[in-house]
Structure 1
Amino acid sequence: MEINANYTSLVAIGDSFTEGMSDLLPDGSYRGWADLLAGRMAARTPGFRYANLAVRGKLIGQIVDEQVDAAAAMQADVVTLVGGLNDTLRPKCDMGMVRGLLEEAVERLAPNCKQLVLMRSPTRNGPVQERFRPRMEELFAHVDDLAARHGALVVELYQVPALSDQRMWDVDRLHLTPEGHRRVAEAVWQALGYEPEDDWRAPLPAPVPPNWATQRIADARFARQYLLPWIGRRLTGRSSGDGRPPKRPELLPYEGPIA
């Protein structure tokens, strides 16, 4: 049952998850769940406006400093905020600081939109998830608390087995595939009260286990192309988003594929 079919604008802020990596388009840009959601909302509402301020690699402090005030000033009907997970993956992470910054963001955004949307982000099954699970769950518990205090919606993605399936993740093992982004868009769509169009929680077919050689080749490729550069950026204090502007910095009428 629909709760509200009258949303006229959407602003999305955060990091690579919201920028849309790795839902790659033919022109080399990224689409992602937020663009997909905007297209579907625009199909229902003439003149629908959309901004996406998210930039890959951003930590929660950077999201607060660079995106939150701009998003609040836009006075959009819906604002989505997903951030803090990059912080939890750092070798040294002050979770008290992360919680405080996330709370600051919510306190600024909630009074300046009709509906704030937070998420318990999906994670890929594997050793990285297990190593950092305590931090992630501390972050998500804080998300739940903030939502309860500020009237935000929480989209539960973390405990959905289909989204933890390794086949939902790109070869970099950090970002969702196009199918993963499509499912997240459907999850947010339903959380906002729109009529469901499919079961985004549906499990994938049983996997065919790769043979030993194929898996080792994939592991070596991952380490060479993604893991070692990621470690290098961490050691030198660089980010994949350094100097990169947001892809939709202004709240303008949506122009793109209509879902």
Structure 2
Amino acid sequence: MEMNAPYTSFVAVGDSFTEGMSDLLPDGSYRGWADLLAARLAAREPGFRYANLAVRGKLIGQIAEEQAPAAAAMGADVVTLVGGLNDALRPKVDMGRVRGHLEAAVELLAPSCGRLVLMRSPGRHGPVMERFRPRMEELFGILEELSARHGALLVDLYGAPALGDPRLWDADRLHLTAEGHRRVAEAVWQALGLPAEEDWTRSLPAAPAPGWAVRRTEDLRFARRHLLPWIGRRLTGRSSGDGRPPKRPELLPYATPPLL
């Protein structure tokens, strides 16, 4: 792809990763990599338009049925689709159904936009990651097939060891920090053929590992504040995104907020 290619519109589709959790702003809203990318694209193109249809907790079936048709109708220059990980992290999952929903979404989106971007999501280093690694890698294999078949870009965040560093993940161990989101925005920016501003794959400086007591305290806090509520939602069939609308449901001109 040409460097300095003009991108005049961008639609983001997905779940909490694309909504921007846990890149928290002072007003209590979330920013995230998609907003950061939109701000950078808007700085290059007067009249740039942006929509973000992502909603936390959504499964790939919901993304394919609710978000993909709306995104396809917008005819944007760039569409990003990130989904399926919420399915893979559930106690039981039919990966065949995940594949079917991903195929349907990609087949709808690829011909409707100038450039479709898929991602191999990052994974935090730790025991939870190891438990779900086979499912994640099966999901990523599906995405590789679909990107090759439909000419989509595939951004490999999973293949960057630096993004697995726990220091780039929030206390819930599911969502990236502001620095993590900033690196993802840079990764997508470069994948779109735009001039690199930094090496988003670089490792953080070495730091002493926390002691046993600190780790146990953090584990207990994580279990109480994040893990148990997450398990409770899975057992009751609820989602953190139930009833929540997208933060930018329409493809409208995007003025860079001062905080960006």
TM-score interval (norm. to shorter): over 0.9
Residue 204 of structure 1 is matched in structure 2 by: 204
Please give the alpha-carbon distance, in whole angstroms, between the structure 1 residues aligned to 2:243 and 2:197.
38
Please give the alpha-carbon distance, in whole angstroms, between the structure 1 residues aligned to 2:233 and 2:210.
31
Give the gaps of 5 or more residues in structure 1: none
Give the drift of 1:103: 0.5
Residue 108 of structure 1 is matched in structure 2 by: 108
Give the drift of 1:2: 4.6
Please give the alpha-carbon distance, in whole angstroms, between the structure 1 residues aligned to 2:123 and 2:179.
15
Residue 143 of structure 2 is matched in structure 1 by: 143
Tell me if structure 1 keeps the 8 A contact 2:9–2:77.
Answer: yes
Tell me if structure 2 keeps the 8 A contact 1:2–1:195.
Answer: no
Residue 78 of structure 1 is matched in structure 2 by: 78
TM-score by length of 1: 0.98
Residue 177 of structure 1 is matched in structure 2 by: 177
Give the drift of 1:256: 2.5
Please give the alpha-carbon distance, in whole angstroms, between the structure 1 residues aligned to 2:66 and 2:179.
29
Give the drift of 1:4: 4.5
Please give the alpha-carbon distance, in whole angstroms, between the structure 1 residues aligned to 2:150 and 2:4.
19
Please give the alpha-carbon distance, in whole angstroms, between the structure 2 residues aligned to 1:111 and 1:83.
19
Residue 126 of structure 1 is matched in structure 2 by: 126
Task: Map 1:157-236; keep pairs closer than 5 Å.
Answer: 157-236=157-236
Amino acid at match of 1:215: R
Tell me if structure 2 keeps the 8 A contact 1:122–1:163.
Answer: yes
Please give the alpha-carbon distance, in whole angstroms, between the structure 1 residues aligned to 2:181 and 2:211.
28
Please give the alpha-carbon distance, in whole angstroms, between the structure 2 residues aligned to 1:188 and 1:155.
7
Tell me if structure 1 keeps the 8 A contact 2:3–2:195.
Answer: no
Amino acid at match of 2:227: L
Please give the alpha-carbon distance, in whole angstroms, between the structure 2 residues aligned to 1:13 and 1:207.
36
Tell me if structure 1 keeps the 8 A contact 2:4–2:195.
Answer: no
Give the gaps of 5 or more residues in structure 2: none
Tell me if structure 1 keeps the 8 A contact 2:42–2:256.
Answer: no
Deviations 1:191-235 (A, max 9, x none): 000000001001011121111111111111000000000000000
